[in-house]
Amino acid sequence: MTRLSLQTLGGLPKTIRRPSYERAGLKPGIVHLGLGAFARAHLCEYTDDALEHAFGAWGIIGASLQRPDQRDRLKPQDGLYSFLKRAPDGPEMRIIGSVLDVLVAPENPAALVTRLAAAQTRIVSLTVTEKGYCHDPATGRLRQDHPDILHDLEHPDAPRSAVGLIVAALKLRKAEGLAPFTALSCDNLPHNGKVLRGLVRDFAALQDDTLAAWIEANGAFPATMVDRIVPATTDADIAEVAGLLGVEDAAPVIGEPFRQWAVEDRFALGRPAWDEVGAQMVSEVAPFEFMKLRMLNGAHSSLAYLGYLSGHETVAEASGDPVLARFLQGLWNEIIPTVPAPQGVDLSDYAGALLTRFRNPAIRHRTWQIAMDGSQKLPQRLLGTIRERLKAGAPIDHLALGVAAWMRYVTGTDETGAVIDVRDPLAGEFARIATQAGRNAQALSSGLLGIEAIFGSDLPRETAFTQAVARQLDGLFSKGAKATAAALAA
């Protein structure tokens, strides 16, 4: 079948929305590190809309930090790809044109650094996931012993971490008398702009104090809050898209209609007209970020572990289970008192909207996918809430079950005895602890709680927390996930 490309764009069905701006005249202004499905369904779509509203030199150069897959899919398509939005009342499709090229960092890191340092580059954005920041999630500080950081310190001209690439490019810009670009984190990290600023400054200081001071004085690191459910694209999705387009698209993205983007309006060298196409440009992102991190992401992770253990493949199936839906309501009842409501937001209404989004049957967001990298996610999504509830002397039963479900999941064996493919930087450590503990809930919880990088030094000393987690974990072993969740509502 013929591939999607600029040449075949005009022959697509008239019902398919395509870029209304002159694609041939688009020049790059953004380099995006980590051009995965989420970035292409969020940042790239917002940018496409902004280009239609006010055309300018804001094309996107994507950069893959590990594999060439994305480049190999998009290059033959001139960077074009389709975005299929799945709603309960039927799909909607459009073609995104804001991506001009994709570089592959391991193949030529110097070429990527040169592109980042170029005068045309005004924004460097990132979606590299929590683990891509080479930091300690518990403290937010740079891990100087991280293998990628050690590599980048030894090979400053061939960095492989996002932080190393940014610093190498800023060093070049400083030498050439150029102002720093804006570094825009779009990852689910609390205070992501502040964290990125600190990591970049700390890494720069390991090389050159004057460079670190220049970045601190002149750099722009806006905080952002991003929200859209974007499940992994399947072979069935690719086949469906080909049927709708009449041409092959090797790189479609699938997502829900809902999207939200709150951004601190602090840009060193300008930005696209994102505010004119739905982005919320605000002075303070923290209230939106905090609400989403605790209420959406905390619930998503808890539901992923309980849902997977209950035999549900997708979030829609899991949230449609009456037992797990009651668990979510109980979980939100524990979370909401710890969340200051952003202006104009009713948190109970927000929770109801989340449940509706979770239950969208057209979105196949796999519980296994959300369950990845729990060691990086738990500190931000659940443990901060637990600390506040403990300090207030408030119940944590549902939050403790979320943590216990993660512990049960990382043993690597589900309730039927089948192997769980645990994807996590600490998967080896989990397996060692699980092997020693067996099905002893107390031993397993004690072993996992001893991982200070996740739980810090304080939570293992909180008896109310450790006992609640061990109790829920024992239920997961003896009764199973659904029965344990149901017992909370009894």
pLDDT surpasses 80 at 489: no
Q: Are strands 260-264 and 224-227 parallel, antiparallel or unpaired?
A: antiparallel
C-alpha neighbours within 13 Å on the C-beta side of residue 207 = 24
CA distance 314 to 354: 15
For the CA atoms of the chain, what is the radius of gyration? 23
pLDDT for the residue numbered 456:
95
CA distance 406 to 378: 9
C-alpha neighbours within 13 Å on the C-beta side of residue 376 = 20
Q: pLDDT over 90 for what percent of the chain?
A: 93
Phi, psi (deg, nearest 5) at residue 290: -65, -45
Say if CB 386 and CB 459 are below 8 A apart.
Answer: yes
**What SS3 class is residue 61?**
strand
Residue type, 308: Y
Structure tokens at 262: 């709150």
The predicted model gives 197-202 an average pLDDT of 97
**What's the pLDDT tens digit per position in 297-311?**
999 999 999 999 999
pLDDT for the residue numbered 452:
95
CA distance 172 to 480: 56
The predicted model gives 426-447 an average pLDDT of 97
Q: Are strands 253-255 and 81-87 parallel, antiparallel or unpaired?
A: parallel
CATH number of this structure's domain 6-282, picked from the four choices 3.40.50.720, 3.40.50.300, 1.10.3720.10, 3.30.700.30: 3.40.50.720
The predicted model gives 332-354 an average pLDDT of 94
* pLDDT band, very low/low/confident/very high, at 139 (cuts 50, 70, 90): confident
**What's the pLDDT tens digit per position in 174-188?**
999 999 999 999 998
Nearest to 172 by CA among 205, 211, 134, 141: 211
pLDDT surpasses 90 at 382: yes
Nearest to 188 by CA among 281, 268, 293: 293
**What's the pLDDT tens digit per position in 100-115?**
999 999 999 999 999 9
CA distance 445 to 274: 46
Exposure string for 279-292, b = 16+ CB within 10 A, e = fewer:
bebbeebbbbbbbb
Neighbours of 92 (CB within 10 A): 14
pLDDT for the residue numbered 90:
87
Distance linking the first and last C-alpha atoms of the chain: 56
pLDDT surpasses 90 at 140: no
Which bin fits 417, alpha (ψ -120 to 50), beta or left (φ > 0)?
A: left
* pLDDT band, very low/low/confident/very high, at 138 (cuts 50, 70, 90): confident
Task: Show me where the domains of the chain are located.
Answer: 6-282, 286-489
pLDDT-wise least confident of 183-192, 316-325, 327-336: 183-192
pLDDT-wise least confident of 32-36, 117-121, 168-172, 190-194: 190-194
Say if CB 95 and CB 19 are below 8 A apart.
Answer: yes
Say if CB 64 and CB 57 are below 8 A apart.
Answer: no
CA distance 299 to 333: 11
pLDDT surpasses 90 at 170: yes
pLDDT surpasses 80 at 292: yes
pLDDT surpasses 80 at 313: yes
Say if CB 263 and CB 274 are below 8 A apart.
Answer: yes
Instruction: Give bridge partners of residue 220 from the DSSP assignment.
Output: 182
Instruction: Dihedral sign for Cα 5, 10, 16, 21, please.
Output: positive
pLDDT surpasses 80 at 490: no
Arithmetic mean of pLDDT over the chain: 96
* pLDDT band, very low/low/confident/very high, at 426 (cuts 50, 70, 90): very high
CA distance 346 to 363: 25
Higher pLDDT, 284 or 249: 249
Task: Give CATH for domain 286-489.
Answer: 1.10.1040.10
pLDDT for the residue numbered 89:
86
Neighbours of 356 (CB within 10 A): 12
The alpha carbon of residue 252 and the mean position of all alpha carbons in its chain are separated, in whole angstroms, by 18
pLDDT surpasses 80 at 207: yes
CA distance 49 to 44: 9
The predicted model gives 436-459 an average pLDDT of 97
The predicted model gives 202-214 an average pLDDT of 97
- CA 149-151-157 angle, to 5 degrees, is 105
CA distance 116 to 110: 10
Residue type, 233: T
pLDDT surpasses 90 at 88: no
The pTM for the full model equals 0.81
CA distance 367 to 45: 25
Helices (H) and strands (E) in the chain, counts: 24, 11
